[in-house]
Structure 1
Amino acid sequence: MTLRIQVLGPMRAWLHDEPLPLGPPAQRAVLGLLVLAGGQPVSMAGLIDAFWGDQPPASAVNVIQTHVKRLRRLLEPGRAPHARSEVLPHLGGGYRLGVPEEQIDIMRFRRLVHHAPDGDELAALTEALTLWQGRPFADLPLLAEHPRVLSILAEHRAALGRYGAAMLAAGAVDRAISAFEEVAAADPLDEVGQARLVRAYAAAGRRAQAFHTYHAVRRHLADELGVDPGPELTAAHLEVLDEDSRAPAATGPPAASGRTVPAELPADVPGFTGRAYELDELDELTTAPEPDTVVIAVVSGTAGVGKTALATRWAHRTRARFPDGLLYIDLRGYDPEQPVSPGAALARFLRSLGLPGEQVPGDVEERAARYRSLLDGRRVLILLDNAASVDQVRPLLPGSVGSVVVVTSRDSLPGLVVRHGARRLDLDVLRREDALVLLRRLAGDWVTAQATAAEALVAQCARLPLALRIAAELVHGKTPATLADVVGELADHRSRLDLLSTGDPHSDMGIVFSWSYRDLPPDAARMFRLLGLHPGVDVDDFAASALIGGDQVGARDSLALLAGRHLVQRSGERYGLHDLLRAYAKELAARDGEADLPRRVLEFYLHTAAAAMDVLYPVERGRRPRVPHPAIAVPSLRDGTALAWLDAERANLVATAVHAAEHGQAWYPVQLALVLLRYLENGGHYADAVTLHEHALRAAESLADRRSAAQLRINLGVVAVQQGRYAEASAELQRALELAYDVGDAFVRVRALGNLGHVYQWQGRYSEAARMLTEVIDLARQTGDRGTEARGLGNLGQVRLRQDRYADAAEDLRASITICRDIGDAVGAAYALVYLGHVESALGRYDAAGEHHEHALALFRGATEPAGEAYALDGLGGVDLLRGEHERAVDRLSAALALFRQVGDRAGEARVANSLGQVAAAMGRPAEARAHHTSALRLAEEIGNRYEQSRARAALASPVEVEGRLASATSTGKTTTR
């Protein structure tokens, strides 16, 4: 007899290696119950109870007998009429399955697990686990929660645990981890399984994952059961802590797979000299004195003493201690105009740690909490440079052990020491010998030949590294015979200067700065002064030429000269100023009557930003303000460079807008905000978008420009929508709509209505959304604005889709696609195609749905629209699920999820999490399905997305996902109305 039966996964059977159609679910369930009996008879009463419980129909016996009769015909096609059945014999008032154990996969699985042939346990376990094709009876919801099915799941977890332990003993750590991860995912509250995983991660050197796993389980136990970890899990955690403390400087492996690992350290300092004692001291200060201590070290000292250089050199030397990343930020604490606020620093760090910009909370305390959560269980170095106060630093401290914080400051920051246990290193000027060595490295052998002059120059520079570097460049070309004269001239010049004071007589470096400055050619001197007025972090040669109003070649030459004399710091093709030099340059500019940033710089940034937007989003050119071409050189931007320019200059664009708003140039932030919205929104740069638009809105109101104020409120509403803040978005859009009516501007009114309709759709207010979008379409047709008409039709089609009005939705979407093709809006057409694909899925036309999604995917990829690509992949994954192609569905949905996280689309992330939950349920993985739906519910509740909330709650309320139409088919989320 060659009958084979599979139940570990979807139920299947083969006779003479030919697949058998086992019939409807109830008939397959009868066979499944007999398989679960393991060769023992199952009574008629037992079968009836499994099907109907306490309320069987009168025909129950006949129904069971009919299923058995049909199974006998199917499984024994050659059996003579009325002959005894060998496969399903009637015994003791019930039935028994008479199939040899080796021909049923669950029986073979048990034999291999419990009776390894030849004593080779690893080989037996490997063979047993290959039999596992998914949850037992994955296609039979009736048997999903049967006690014997749950028992098989427990047997599988135990086998995986034994397999992982055997692999660990054999040195195959990665395979062991995979096995333990599957066990842990199947039962998150199994402390023994979680402890195995913690130990495996530690054995692989992945301590960050070990800590993260422990803390995640600890929180889960507290939330679900209200208990602390038991002895097994606690012991595993203590073992990792002990190993970590014994090897603080060991080279670590890469961080957890899928995590963003920042590497933000500035370049190491060339010619770094001395400081051996201080480097050793930092090593000691950053070693935790106690296992549960958060390590904070403060390097304090006067301006120019080399705090940043020391911290940077130490960080590069010890970077192997921090496998989960290196965070760095210049807090600019001593810049009177542009210090970095804790909120801005947190936003940057959150993005660096992999949090999409859209998910960065608006509230500083919420940002700090999310930041601490992301650092939990990781080993990250956090270098906070140029901090002015404890208040600037405190929100940036981690909340758990593992990471190390190094702060540099001119202040000793006693509050960090008293309240947070920081350990302090007070950095003094260089030792005399080290100062001479540095001078010799920088300026050459004349230091040895003219020892007296060198000693004097070191003293005049107060043994400060910054001053020594500048002085070395000044005297590098001098002949030895003139050095004493140079030193004497410097001493005389000191008495005649209005010195730049830092508050410490040892740090009055104005004499050195002024000596360097006075030898500059006029063009370079002017460049230096005007760089002090630039509010941003650094400039390229185009922005520098805008500063001086000259040609690019001259600007580049001046920058090179300033860099050579250490008056500016060069990083690649960009140039910035040390904060002391910035203050000195700004002072010089004020003395020469150059008190503010030249208008031509603002014009340069505005024009180039607009040009970049025209390259990236040409269809929307008419919706952005037109800006004049400045009378200076500008970069030539193309498809490959426009986005790179915006990314490189984003901080400068925001900084110049803030500066202009506060210095009487209100036109600039208004125009810049109206130009940049789409870039900031699509890139997830929401913190920057809010900063820019809030300053622009105040500027527009100061100009009494109500039309621009309405536009800016619409933009703020769009940003709020993308962050899931629907109530705030609705309020901004309502105010914008009122302004649009007041000024009688139809274009602004249409924008406000369209976006407000989209907010109502997210909130489940479909009738109101449809009314507003219909008004948008009517207004667009009256004014001949085909682009707005297409967007309105596309969004209305989405609303109709959610209302299950499929014919109306299809009509609107096809009309939108036609217009988009006519006007060349490939992205708009692609979004409409995605929605049309969901209409076809809802109607059961899977081939047509797949074609629409594939077409949309190609258009999105051609337009470099990652959010749209994610929606198309999500649609294709939904079609795969409906077709039963589960593995391909997982692949596509996982790719969509990665893209949604990359662009910060939380609604898309919630949507895909729900869809992955449905696939997991269909594959017989209920624990995995519940985890996906729980994640989707949390996200949907945070952003107020009622549709995804209802999907998640419905799935979590039922132990089994119902096969059939994909419930998510009517939920796409990306708006094309702006």
Structure 2
Amino acid sequence: MHDAHSERGDQTRSELSGAARDVVQARSVSGGVHFHAPHHPAGPIPRLLPPGVPDFVNRAEDLQHLGASLASSADTSTPTVIVVIAGTAGVGKTSLALHWAHQVREHFPDGQLYANLRGYDPGQPAQPHDILERFLRALGVPHDDIPADTDSRTDLYRSLLAERRALVVLDNAATVTAVRPLLAGTGRSLTIITSRSRLSTLVAREGARRLTLDVLSDPDAVKLLQLTTDSYRRGDDPQELAELAQLCARLPLALRIAAERASRYPQQALGDLIQDLRDESGLWDLLTSGDDDEASEIRSVFAWSYQALPADAATLFRLLGLHPGPDFCTSAAAALAGITPNRTRSILDVLVGAHLLEQKARDRYQFHDLLRAYAADQVLHDETAESRAAALDRILSWYLHSTHNAITASMYGHPTLDLAPHPDSVTPATFTTHEQAISWYEAERTNLVAATRAANAHGMHQHAWQLPALLHQIYNFRHPIHEWLTTAEIGLASARHLHNQEAEAFLLYSLGKAHTQANRHQEGLGYLTQAITLQRRAGDLAGEAETLCGAGLACLRLRRLDEALTMFRQAQTAARQLDDPHQEAFASHLTGWALLELHRPAEALQHSLAAAATMRQLGDRASEIDVLVKQCDMLRQVGQLEQARDVANQTLTIASDTDDQVITAAGFIELGRIQQDLEEPEEALASYQRAAVLQRRLGNRSREATALDATGLAYQQLGRFDEAAEFHHRAAAMHHDLADSWLQAVALAHLGDALSAAGRNAEASNVWTDAEQILRQFDDPAAQELRNHVADAIGQGDQQ
């Protein structure tokens, strides 16, 4: 169980295109990097609104209120308009929002975005981080160009909306925190939020307008019943219709379910149906904690409709209450019930027709949150513990084996994990192409996290550690940090529960890589060190070699250079014992990197040349350019500038051929440094700016800051010192935010130089002093050299 592509764990493939390319003009302004959207948006126009409900009734006053918001959003002198539609569960907030959104969508020519925040679902709510990814992709940003952190995603999202007129619907928001990252910053867009809460902070701080939705009036409630049943039954007593409306608390959700039940039995007197409804009022006491009349009435309606289902539909309905995620496909539902997909599809149609389930897209189904809670309660009442456990085993096995099949079909390496056979009644998803596999992963990624959590919660610990161990191979390339950390932590707990030290070591390794990818190097090193201890105890030399490389990289970034060098050499030795030339070459490359940081470039170059030759011989082009991009700096530092430029250009060519934007960005930084040494500052400036923009797209704030700092150096070489200071200041601030003291000190030293050259001596002295204080914690040769430079600069400044 090893990570076959560990060297790619710090990288993300990407292709900058479409709408993303239109916002890549970056410049340091007032301490920040601003991204500018085009005046006329390019790329696809998102149309994400779900269908509106049929037979929408009245709400004339509420629609008029929304109409006033539409007029305000057209006024360019006002901030982005936000409307909160608040009200109790089932009152029709979503129906109103979608009905109005479809009515006015032509007023928003740049698109309509929709997300269900699942704030009131029994499971985990949707995360702004994940919703932003979906919105950015809908706005034309390729997956691999989407930044990794939430703040950067919000910045890009707001930049793309700044010059657009778009409608954004955020459904089922429980808190202000859940919606704030999803709000447009400026422009002529309009955001509608539905919530059971009043979201008062949003009203007070962002100026949102609140529309509180009441239950339907008596006439409107009766009208909705009549419209929904008119095709099936005629002549119902208006008084009985009014009584039915009162039993449904005049809530649209309950009214539609009751109307569907009445339509199914057109020959039965409405009075008899009402009596049935009254008799079934005690079947669902656990849906809500309150004893209010409204809760009791909606419980009765749900129970009434559930009792009328055919036996197989009722069974599937309640078993779906065990599904761990917010939505599901036919194949997953079939696994849960232990029946065929064809039969499942027919039953799902029955549930959709009874308004007990929603079909939100082709082969994607979801519950209203109240109905999901009801289904979860019914499965506790109507299924035995053994039946529930078997259903959970089926659905978790489906996710586990489907994930295994997805990785097998992907370009992310063949999984080496041995899985227990799945139950006979389960048919996992299969794939023939990388694109199919990744499309399935994207559709199920929220469910995969939920499945991992559910497996642990229900004591199915084998599933709970194996699923994140498999997902590591996808996460290692796609870097969804939040999901990676969540699943690996759960998996680690389950591995420890089972006393499975091999699984524990792998998940510690996975957690270490996730933390280092998120620039939390100290935390990452802690997990990686624990993994090494377990691997040595078990005699897992292959695992140890890989983990030593990961731990060494963490030490490298923490400026613990001697430790890093020791770990890389130990990894080389282990790989040699295993007769693994690839792993040995990778460890040799890292050894060269550590030697370079220790100011031993000639030795570093020898390791790099040997590593590149091996990778080339093995035909591993991706790993070869990993080596070459660092080799550029080694050649530059030994004074072989023309050869360094040739290698940099070679690296950029290969990176372009393979659509590898991570290496492209790194290659432009190295090329820029070479161009500066060759006295070509204009060319260097262009290289650095391209690198900064690409790193921003990739969401790597540390490398973006390094590119911005390098941009400042090019401006200094051009004699444009005030502009240089802006870039150095921004880089230092970003490194400070990332808690990277070493790179912060480097940027501060450069900032002091720029300020001094600009004649701003007092500011320069203060900045150099800050840099000197930070540098006291480092004792490597590079730190000593920089410390001497800063001390000399402070001394010269005191003499002026």
**TM-score bucket (shorter structure):** 0.7 to 0.9
SS at match of 1:751: helix
Deviation at 1:675, TM superposition (A): 1.9
Pairing of 1:569-968 with structure 2 (within 5 A): 569-573=358-362, 574-590=364-380, 591-593=382-384, 594-596=387-389, 598-619=392-413, 621=414, 624-628=416-420, 630=422, 631=424, 632-821=427-616, 823=618, 825-843=620-638, 845=640, 848-857=643-652, 859-860=654-655, 865-879=660-674, 892-923=687-718, 925-945=720-740, 948-949=743-744, 951-959=746-754
Alignment CA distance shift 1:784-1:459 (3 Å) = same
* Separation of aligned partners in 1, 2:755 and 2:195: 59
SS at match of 1:570: strand
Which among 338, 345, 358 is matched to residue 556 of structure 1? Answer: 345
* Separation of aligned partners in 2, 1:843 and 1:536: 56
* Separation of aligned partners in 2, 1:878 and 1:257: 36
Which among 283, 294, 303 is matched to residue 499 of structure 1? Answer: 283
Alignment CA distance shift 1:652-1:938 (3 Å) = same
Q: Contact conserved, 1:186 with 1:927, CA < 8 A, in 2? A: no
Deviation at 1:771, TM superposition (A): 1.3
SS at match of 2:365: strand
SS at match of 1:790: helix
Which among 465, 475, 479 is matched to residue 252 of structure 2? Answer: 465
Alignment CA distance shift 1:802-1:264 (3 Å) = farther
Q: Contact conserved, 1:826 with 1:863, CA < 8 A, in 2? A: no
* Separation of aligned partners in 2, 1:832 and 1:902: 23
Alignment CA distance shift 1:417-1:307 (3 Å) = same
* Separation of aligned partners in 2, 1:542 and 1:798: 48
Aligned to 1:56: none
Q: Contact conserved, 1:397 with 1:405, CA < 8 A, in 2? A: no
1:701-741 Cα offsets, whole Å, 9 max, x none, are 22222332232222222222222222222222233333334
Q: Contact conserved, 1:262 with 1:327, CA < 8 A, in 2? A: no
Q: Contact conserved, 1:542 with 1:635, CA < 8 A, in 2? A: no
Q: Contact conserved, 2:318 with 2:376, CA < 8 A, in 1? A: yes
Alignment CA distance shift 1:554-1:881 (3 Å) = farther
* Separation of aligned partners in 2, 1:256 and 1:734: 51
* Separation of aligned partners in 2, 1:567 and 1:902: 42
| Structure 2 residue identity aligned to 1:664 | G
* Separation of aligned partners in 2, 1:884 and 1:541: 63
Alignment CA distance shift 1:401-1:643 (3 Å) = closer
Pairing of 1:182-221 with structure 2 (within 5 A): none
Q: Contact conserved, 1:840 with 1:849, CA < 8 A, in 2? A: yes
Aligned to 2:94: 308
* Separation of aligned partners in 1, 2:710 and 2:310: 66
Matched, 1:276 2:71: no
* Separation of aligned partners in 2, 1:771 and 1:671: 32
SS at match of 2:747: helix
Pairing of 1:224-243 with structure 2 (within 5 A): none
Q: Contact conserved, 2:318 with 2:378, CA < 8 A, in 1? A: yes
* Separation of aligned partners in 2, 1:880 and 1:268: 56
Alignment CA distance shift 1:876-1:672 (3 Å) = farther
Aligned to 2:313: 524
Aligned to 2:332: 543
| Structure 2 residue identity aligned to 1:498 | G
CA RMSD of aligned residues (A): 4.8
Q: Contact conserved, 2:715 with 2:721, CA < 8 A, in 1? A: yes
Deviation at 1:947, TM superposition (A): 5.9
What's the TM-score, normalizing by structure 1?
Answer: 0.62
Deviation at 1:931, TM superposition (A): 2.6
Aligned to 1:386: 172
Aligned to 1:159: none
| Structure 2 residue identity aligned to 1:585 | A
Q: Contact conserved, 2:28 with 2:726, CA < 8 A, in 1? A: no
Deviation at 1:781, TM superposition (A): 1.1
* Separation of aligned partners in 2, 1:577 and 1:351: 21
* Separation of aligned partners in 2, 1:852 and 1:660: 50
Pairing of 1:965-976 with structure 2 (within 5 A): none
Alignment CA distance shift 1:942-1:415 (3 Å) = closer
Alignment CA distance shift 1:266-1:298 (3 Å) = same
Matched, 1:267 2:50: yes
Q: Contact conserved, 2:129 with 2:149, CA < 8 A, in 1? A: no
Instruction: Single out whichever of 913-922 and 774-783 deviates more from structure 2.
Output: 913-922
Q: Contact conserved, 1:850 with 1:876, CA < 8 A, in 2? A: yes
1:315-358 Cα offsets, whole Å, 9 max, x none, are 5667799999987654544434x2438xx446755996899664
Alignment CA distance shift 1:917-1:385 (3 Å) = same
1:453-504 Cα offsets, whole Å, 9 max, x none, are 76665555443222333345455566xxx34536623532531453335444
1:831-855 Cα offsets, whole Å, 9 max, x none, are 1122223333444555544554455
* Separation of aligned partners in 1, 2:442 and 2:688: 28
Deviation at 1:414, TM superposition (A): 7.5
Alignment CA distance shift 1:586-1:798 (3 Å) = same
| Structure 2 residue identity aligned to 1:612 | A
1:569-619 Cα offsets, whole Å, 9 max, x none, are 112221111111112222222212243552122222222223333444455
* Separation of aligned partners in 2, 1:954 and 1:297: 48
* Separation of aligned partners in 1, 2:229 and 2:261: 9
* Separation of aligned partners in 1, 2:417 and 2:328: 25
| Structure 2 residue identity aligned to 1:276 | A
Pairing of 1:101-180 with structure 2 (within 5 A): none
Deviation at 1:748, TM superposition (A): 3.7
Show structure 1 runs of 5+ residues with no match. Answer: 1-177, 190-211, 217-252, 963-969, 971-978
* Structure with greater Cα Rg: 1
Alignment CA distance shift 1:435-1:396 (3 Å) = same
* Separation of aligned partners in 1, 2:498 and 2:223: 59
| Structure 1 residue identity aligned to 2:419 | V
1:628-676 Cα offsets, whole Å, 9 max, x none, are 5645141314122222222221111111111211221122231222222
Aligned to 1:485: 269
Alignment CA distance shift 1:663-1:279 (3 Å) = same
Q: Contact conserved, 1:609 with 1:676, CA < 8 A, in 2? A: yes
* Separation of aligned partners in 1, 2:205 and 2:709: 44
Pairing of 1:327-476 with structure 2 (within 5 A): 330-336=116-122, 338-340=123-125, 344-345=127-128, 358-360=148-150, 385-387=171-173, 408-410=194-196, 424-435=210-221, 437-439=223-225, 442-445=228-231, 452=238, 458=245, 461-474=248-261
User: Identity of paired residues, percent?
Assistant: 32
What's the TM-score, normalizing by structure 2?
Answer: 0.75
